[in-house]
Amino acid sequence: MFEFIMEHDQPRAAVRVYFDTGKGFHDEQSVFMPLRRGKMTKRICFIPYGTRAIRLDPLESEGCFAITHLRLVWLRPRFAYDRMSRRLCSAHPQYRDLSSRVIIQSLKREACENGLSWKKLAIAHYEETFMHCAPESNYHYWLEHVEPLREPSARQVVAHLAQLSQQPLISVLLPIHVASSEWLTACVESVREQRYQNWQLCIADASGSREIHAVVERLATRDERIQIASCEPQGRAMAGNTALAMANGDYIALLSPGDQLAPNALYHVVETLGRHPEAEMLYSDEDRLNSENRRYDPHFKPQWNPDLLLTQNYISHLTVYRVSRLRRIGGFRKGFEGSQDYDLLLRFTQGLTARQIRHIPFVLYHWREGEQDCSLEVGQHALREHLAVFAPGAEVIPERVSNSYRVQWPLPEPTPLVSLLIPTRDRVEILRPCVDAILARTDYPNFELLILDNQSSCPETLTYMAQVADDPRVSVLRWDQPFNYSAINNFGARQARGSILGLVNNDIEPINDDWLSEMVRQVCRPEIGCVGAKLYYPNGTVQHGGVILGVGGIAGHAHRFFPRNHSGYRHRLNLVQNLSAVTAACLLVRKSVFKEVNGLNEEHLSVAYNDVDLCLKVREAGYRNLWTPYAELYHHESVSRGADDNPQKRARAEREVTYMRTTWGSKLDSDPAYNPNLTLVYEDFSLR
């Protein structure tokens, strides 16, 4: 057991310990330890037999640090496996809430089925819970040790395919306008090596190159399932339509020359279609290939996230479409070269439900370096045309730093009244900056601020509330009951005159004047439920980038402690997106929606998780929750309530955790706005 405490100046940090068994120090014989600043980190590791030396690398990047505790404790094997099983119980989704005995039995059974040592399998799963500090840091390890455990073997694929009653023909479209003969050959071979055999490869050669055409003809002679056609070099869209015209399958998959499919790519597509025959479109996770054919830069995507698609083409590849619908919308459009895939996605998905769009959480597509299309201007044109159909007042603003878009939705006329509810008790030093800042730094013209006073007795606080109530926008309402966050806000909602409710903590301070305007623009959309803001700690680090379900067992704040200017995982700290939940420290919801789901849960969630519960009820009612980075505020998190530091508070906290697990259990462990390959232990989108 390594025990380690280190102070450092990084937003996040990790230690790596290397073992030399006579061949020097290598990553293959090392242990990775993600750290939290100033907190004890404990990590079980098996020191290889014959170790001659141990090396400690305190940081993965340049920075300042101070080691305050370092200890190596030898453990008996039984004790070690017991502690490892406890870790799996708390941090591994496959073993969550199981006993140590059941976990070890499950490990032995899984190891036997796969011909592995159960102890090595236990270590591998234990290692998975420490995949941390961004996917790039550990992707090589993940590819060697984690992905093979999750991907079915060739034998398992054959056995499962034999059980499928439907094995549809999939037509793979390969339009070529620029290509390397070497990469093109590897691309075609990746199709021929598919473990699912019922495919057709439709190659449309628009390269105008004799060399490439000769390569294509040679490749076609290797397999009768490959069909080729030549077309004029008029761009990718026209070449795509030429390939589409050759397709005989019920579904088509898009492939770019130089890119490659994973061997199980089409198998996963057919397996998913077998479970979801209603699917009109499917898409997978992806990564990239460098010049040495080494995989890197994985993109683990959420399930269908329509508002995220309005900011960037997060779907990309592998994408599979039902042919009948694709032809009905006219295929690819000329004039959208450079973002023809994005234009196609926007048109194809319009009117589809989440059930008809399926995400496959496996890395099935490998981009070749430099092959992705990324014309911001063409994509902006496609997005404007898409929005003009159902939101003619929306404006599309390109964000060049993140190669994305901001959709600015129109404000209703007249602007609806927003009722901001601020529960508080004493602590004028917290309340005053919050209320004064909202009144001074909010350009939205039509809001009321309701201070919900929960038994304040401090004379200075009472004086301030009396003074600020002179502002016609402010009212002070008394709640003379024991603290119950849910009950206080439900009381405020009943008194509110506005058609929009704002749940706001008394330790919030706006940064940008249009914070409320941005949130109102979003919450007035009929399909949207709860809207959350981007919150920072006073030191400028991110406190809230939305809520990810399942982190820590219930939920956690996305990207917590990231620097203010960090873009987050795949730029998601800079993008409007649908999330399962947002924090009630600053949350807007239409009053009608709040009433529809019976508000906050006063009985079971008096302090914690009431916002997560509210958001999940709103989601179950058919609305999409949304988080926007364009409403920025400071949040002095929970300073007025304090910590759960006595037996009564701890007992209450445990009851709330039990209620959430009992009520929402399986939904907490499968957040559609997240990805099952990403961690539920940390809040940084690192690997699971």
pLDDT at 113: 80
Say if CB 184 and CB 220 are below 8 A apart: no
Over residues 369-395, the pLDDT tens digits come to: 654 545 889 989 999 999 998 888 999
**Closest residue by Cα to residue 317 from 247, 255, 404, 402:** 255
Q: For 191-208, what is the mean pLDDT?
A: 92
Cβ atoms within 10 A of the Cβ of 122, count?
Answer: 21
Question: Dihedrals φ, ψ of 64, to 5°?
Answer: -100, 140
**Whether the predicted pLDDT of 401 surpasses 50:** yes
Q: For 621-631, what is the mean pLDDT?
A: 97
| pTM of structure | 0.83
**Whether the predicted pLDDT of 165 surpasses 60:** yes
Cβ atoms within 10 A of the Cβ of 505, count?
Answer: 25
Q: CA 482, CA 488: separation in Å to the nearest integer?
A: 10
β strands within 497-635, DSSP E: 500-504, 508-510, 528-536, 542-544, 547-549, 555-557, 577-578, 586-590, 624-635
Over residues 210-261, the pLDDT tens digits come to: 888 888 899 889 899 999 988 877 677 888 889 999 999 999 999 999 899 9
Could you tell me the maximum CA-CA distance found in the chain, to the nearest angstrom?
89
Half-sphere exposure (Cβ direction) of 559: Cα atoms closer than 13 Å:
27
Q: CA 316, CA 544: separation in Å to the nearest integer?
A: 27
**Looking at this protein, which amino acid is placed at residue 686?**
S
CA dihedral 32→36→38→44, nearest 10 degrees, is -40
**Whether the predicted pLDDT of 636 surpasses 90:** no
Q: CA 626, CA 614: separation in Å to the nearest integer?
A: 13
Q: For 188-213, what is the mean pLDDT?
A: 91
**Whether the predicted pLDDT of 93 surpasses 70:** no
Q: For 623-629, what is the mean pLDDT?
A: 98
End-to-end CA distance of the chain: 21
Q: CA 123, CA 401: separation in Å to the nearest integer?
A: 41
**Whether the predicted pLDDT of 688 surpasses 80:** no
- Neighbouring-strand partners of residue 453: 424, 478
Q: CA 679, CA 132: separation in Å to the nearest integer?
A: 8
pLDDT at 325: 96
Structure tokens at 246: 């050759």
Q: For 180-191, what is the mean pLDDT?
A: 91
- Neighbouring-strand partners of residue 458: none
Over residues 26-82, the pLDDT tens digits come to: 877 888 777 766 678 888 888 888 999 999 988 777 788 888 999 999 999 889 888
Say if CB 175 and CB 235 are below 8 A apart: no
Asked if the bond preceding 672 is cis, omega within 30° of 0, the reply is no
Q: CA 193, CA 155: separation in Å to the nearest integer?
A: 15
Alpha helices in 66-170 (DSSP H): 77-91, 100-114, 118-128, 135-141, 147-150, 154-161
Q: 577: exposed, middle or buried (C-beta count within 10 Å: 0-12, 13-18, 19+)? A: buried
Q: CA 386, CA 388: separation in Å to the nearest integer?
A: 6
Say if CB 421 and CB 492 are below 8 A apart: yes
**Whether the predicted pLDDT of 640 surpasses 60:** no
pLDDT at 173: 96
Q: For 88-104, what is the mean pLDDT?
A: 78
**Looking at this protein, which amino acid is placed at residue 329?**
I
**Whether the predicted pLDDT of 132 surpasses 80:** no
**Closest residue by Cα to residue 382 from 407, 400, 409:** 407
**Whether the predicted pLDDT of 140 surpasses 60:** yes
Over residues 495-512, the pLDDT tens digits come to: 999 999 999 999 999 999
β strands within 236-345, DSSP E: 251-254, 260-261, 281-289, 295-299, 319-322
Long-range pairs for 35-39: beta carbons < 8 A, 24 or more residues apart: 35/4, 35/6, 35/8, 37/6, 37/7, 37/8, 37/13, 38/5, 38/7, 39/5
Which helix (DSSP H) or strand (DSSP E) does residue 614 occupy? helix 610-620
CA dihedral 191→197→198→203, nearest 10 degrees, is 20
Residue scoring higher pLDDT (47 or 411):
411
Q: CA 240, CA 344: separation in Å to the nearest integer?
A: 11
Over residues 328-356, the pLDDT tens digits come to: 999 999 888 888 999 999 999 999 999 99
402 pLDDT band (50/70/90 cuts)?
A: confident
**Closest residue by Cα to residue 585 from 666, 683, 515, 494:** 515
134 pLDDT band (50/70/90 cuts)?
A: very low
Bridge-based pairing of strands 404-408 and 395-399 is antiparallel
pLDDT at 92: 74
Structure tokens at 632: 């920025």
**Closest residue by Cα to residue 580 from 620, 523, 543:** 620
Q: CA 430, CA 507: separation in Å to the nearest integer?
A: 6
Question: pLDDT averaged over the chain?
Answer: 89
Give whole-number Cα distances, 460 to 213, 428, 464, in Å: 83, 7, 6
Structure tokens at 627: 């988080």
Over residues 259-318, the pLDDT tens digits come to: 999 999 999 999 999 999 999 999 999 999 988 888 988 999 999 999 999 999 999 999
CA angle 201, 275, 255 (to 5 degrees): 25
Describe the crossing of helices 210-220 and 181-192 by its angle, rounded to 10 degrees. 20
133 pLDDT band (50/70/90 cuts)?
A: very low
Q: CA 48, CA 208: separation in Å to the nearest integer?
A: 57
Question: Dihedrals φ, ψ of 192, to 5°?
Answer: -65, -25
pLDDT at 131: 56
Q: Which residues contact 351 (CB under 8 A, 6 or more apart)?
A: none
**Whether the predicted pLDDT of 128 surpasses 80:** no
Q: CA 643, CA 625: separation in Å to the nearest integer?
A: 28
**Whether the predicted pLDDT of 15 surpasses 90:** no
CA angle 22, 23, 28 (to 5 degrees): 115
β strands within 425-481, DSSP E: 447-453, 474-478
Which helix (DSSP H) or strand (DSSP E) does residue 203 occupy? strand 199-205
DSSP state of 524: T
pLDDT more than 90, % of the chain: 58
Q: 663: exposed, middle or buried (C-beta count within 10 Å: 0-12, 13-18, 19+)? A: middle
Q: CA 304, CA 380: separation in Å to the nearest integer?
A: 21
Q: 608: exposed, middle or buried (C-beta count within 10 Å: 0-12, 13-18, 19+)? A: buried
Over residues 443-497, the pLDDT tens digits come to: 999 999 999 999 999 999 999 999 999 999 999 999 999 999 999 999 999 999 9
Over residues 543-570, the pLDDT tens digits come to: 999 999 998 889 999 998 888 888 889 9
pLDDT more than 70, % of the chain: 95
Bridge-based pairing of strands 260-261 and 418-424 is unpaired
DSSP string across 33-53: EEE-TTS-EEE---PPTT--E
Q: For 624-644, what is the mean pLDDT?
A: 78
Say if CB 586 and CB 563 are below 8 A apart: no
**Whether the predicted pLDDT of 437 surpasses 50:** yes
**Whether the predicted pLDDT of 174 surpasses 90:** yes
Three-state SS at 283: strand
Say if CB 591 and CB 476 are below 8 A apart: no
